[in-house]
Structure 1
Amino acid sequence: MDSSTNGVKPGRATLATIAEAAGVSIATVSKVVNGRQDVSPGTRAMVEDLLRQHYYTGRGGSRQPCVEVVFAGPLAAYSNEVMEGVLQAAAEPGVAIMLSKGRIGSTPTAWALGVAKAGRSAVISVSNEMAEEDATALARAGVPLVVIDPLTPAGADVISVGSTNYFGGISAAEHLLSLGHTRLAYLGGGADAGCNQARWQGFRSTLEAAGHPVTPDRVRHGTFRYAWGVAGGEQLLALESPPTAVFAGSDEIALGLIEACRRRGVRVPEDLSVVGFDDTQLAEICSPPLTVVRQPLREMGSVALRTALRLAAGAAVDSHHVELATSLVVRASSAPPSSSARVP
């Protein structure tokens, strides 16, 4: 027998033939194929080598675990950072990643069954309004779900990964107060979005405790997109008593606000200090570089992928919701208010 075949006969390899060549049970080969962790490193390496040598594809044409990552809206700086974290975590165990827009024009049941029939090991939903019926349908189809930064609750049993949004709001407020600002504003995302509410409430409560509450006319909720930053920024800058500092609920909003300032001849940070939230690449390349509350987006993606794989392997998780720490990153878009600051 040709030694290059390691005992596997010509033709399509099967679990049985790989097991025979490796001198292990079929169950052990199956565990390796399905990404299970309860196999010794040496045995795993040997079986994986045989699987590669003999182009084992399995019944569905691929032996790789595949996780579907769902984005409801257009990809942006935020989602790109999260996706980078997912891909980094997927590279080491050799997990395939499938991008999709999720359930479009189908019922929750039909969508969930389609995901299961396609052989997806799990689904990761990124900043979507994942309806409870969608989560329920996936659970019934046997497909684990992990939600990153959910805009709305997806049910008590759904596993989610986020950041300390409330503490991030506190950090932004404390930073601007330390610079001497007392006329502050909040320009955020959707009023009903959980992450937006947490950021706003942390910011609001800190300012109220310091004796500088945000007046209702200086609070604006819209979307997390650049266009809203421009439009909402125009509204704030047009106030009779405009703010000297604004906490924006995302980097995109902050960049839109800075553009609104440019159009009106308002200088950042001389006339208006701006603090964003996320710390995407946009924060470093904008002018001036943006002070932000850093959300560990890549880490969130990595944690979500590892959690999804654990669920797919039938393992338990320690918590239904994981919050990763935010931190303040001070750059050039925030400064003490100028005595001559004015907003046209």
Structure 2
Amino acid sequence: MGEVATDETAPAPRGRVTLTEIARRAGVSVPTVSRVVNGRSDVSSETRARIEDLLRLHGYRKRPSSAPTRAALLDLVFNDLDSPWAVEIIRGVEETAHAAGVGTVVSAIHGRSGDAREWMRNLRARASDGVILVTSALEPTLHEQLRILGVPLVVVDPTGSPALDTPAIGAANWAGGLAATEHLLSLGHRRIGLIAGPPRLLCSRARFDGYRAALEAAGLAVEESLVVPGDFRPESGFTGCTALLDLHEPPTALFAASDQMALGAIEALRRRGLRVPEDMSVVGFDDLPEVRWSSPPLTTVRQPLADMGKLAARTVLSLARGDRPDAPRVELGTELVVRSSTAPPARRS
């Protein structure tokens, strides 16, 4: 008995081939094939030629339809939307998508698997051209469904090491933590507290490692009592700063791993009748728009959030055209912005 032919280029029966089958054989997403079928120009010439060859080989014929052409869409998915940090990412994505004539659908998963599955059902219904993921809440099975659907995926600030075939956009978090701590050391501080972010997040661990590296370079060990947990929200900054102030020997300076935690810490200091920076210096991380108007204006590490959103949008649109990213992970630079919340330590009697 002869073997069954398995050649990927073997034509299927005419009239029966689907766009999904063409996409699989071409090694691209279904939206990319759809663009070629509909005569859109936003597909690379090499990818277009490969798809057109397969369409001719399989005798594909576009079904006549009186319905208008579907608008191009990107899905931007967060865990929560109650943060100025998310607004900056949205601003960058929307600006790039709008310039490309693509709409943006913003969703929040809230860490619940039911919400994630509902989002996936909606994604299938609207046939999104690509997904930008700024959350760790999507289950591995949903990642696999995205792969099966052929929908391009880009991860922003991933929680861990993303899959090798998933492009990731991040920031130089280690360098930012290093710069924040080195700034405080340069002012003469030696007891520097840290309100850390959630340890499950790669960015939190990198900022802590930068803090530790700066201390060790100055000949100082990390004191466990000076490191308190946080979750990037103001409330945890308030709680963390309160715990540091209750130490027998409080720190003279504080590095909060997010601007919102830094603002919570400043409020905790105010309620104790302490002044910033006279009684304690405070450094944040993010450079959200409001911190330049805080009292005092906050010294912080500028994270290029809007630029991260722009690059994520450009990358996923490029993937949707059938192009390949130059590198699987890109880290944008961070920058220390010195304002009025830091000063040399006060003399203590």
Tell me the TM-score range normalised by the shorter chain: 0.7 to 0.9
Does residue 66 of the first structure (1) align with residue 43 of the second (2)?
no
Does residue 258 of the first structure (1) align with residue 290 of the second (2)?
no
> Structure 2 stretches of 5 or more lacking a match?
1-33, 47-64
Misfit runs of 4+, over 6 Å: 26-29, 107-110
Contact 1:108–1:133, Cα closer than 8 Å, also in 2: no
Contact 1:132–1:155, Cα closer than 8 Å, also in 2: no
Alpha-carbon separation, structure 2, partners of 1:219 and 1:257: 14
Alpha-carbon separation, structure 1, partners of 2:139 and 2:74: 19
Contact 1:122–1:308, Cα closer than 8 Å, also in 2: yes
Closer, same or farther in 2 for the Cα pair 1:61/1:186, shift >3 Å? farther
Structure-2 residue corresponding to 1:36: 43
Closer, same or farther in 2 for the Cα pair 1:129/1:70, shift >3 Å? same
Structure-1 residue corresponding to 2:224: 216
Structure-1 residue corresponding to 2:26: none
Alpha-carbon separation, structure 1, partners of 2:137 and 2:254: 27
Letter in 2 for 1:85: G
Tell me by how many angstroms 1:231 deviates.
0.9
Alpha-carbon separation, structure 2, partners of 1:141 and 1:177: 51
TM-score scaled by length of structure 1: 0.80
1:110-164, CA deviations, whole angstroms, 9 ceiling, x for partnerless residues? 7546413311001111243444333222111111111111224443322110100
Alpha-carbon separation, structure 2, partners of 1:153 and 1:107: 24
Closer, same or farther in 2 for the Cα pair 1:38/1:289, shift >3 Å? farther
Contact 1:191–1:222, Cα closer than 8 Å, also in 2: no
TM-score scaled by length of structure 2: 0.79
Does residue 165 of the first structure (1) align with residue 144 of the second (2)?
no
Closer, same or farther in 2 for the Cα pair 1:31/1:215, shift >3 Å? farther
Contact 1:128–1:150, Cα closer than 8 Å, also in 2: yes
Contact 2:76–2:105, Cα closer than 8 Å, also in 1: yes
Aligned residue pairs: how many?
297
1:18-64, CA deviations, whole angstroms, 9 ceiling, x for partnerless residues? xxxxxxxx98782427x43559xxxxxxxxxxxxxxxxxx8775543
Alpha-carbon separation, structure 1, partners of 2:115 and 2:278: 53
Letter in 1 for 2:304: P
Contact 1:165–1:195, Cα closer than 8 Å, also in 2: yes
Alpha-carbon separation, structure 2, partners of 1:268 and 1:59: 66
Alpha-carbon separation, structure 2, partners of 1:212 and 1:104: 42
Secondary structure at the aligned position of 2:247 is classed as coil
> Structure 1 stretches of 5 or more lacking a match?
1-25, 40-57
Structure-2 residue corresponding to 1:331: 339
Match of 1:123 among 124, 127, 131: 131
Secondary structure at the aligned position of 2:38 is classed as helix
Closer, same or farther in 2 for the Cα pair 1:60/1:293, shift >3 Å? farther
Structure-2 residue corresponding to 1:3: none
Alpha-carbon separation, structure 2, partners of 1:338 and 1:299: 38
Alpha-carbon separation, structure 2, partners of 1:338 and 1:300: 38
Contact 1:131–1:154, Cα closer than 8 Å, also in 2: no
Structure-1 residue corresponding to 2:275: 267
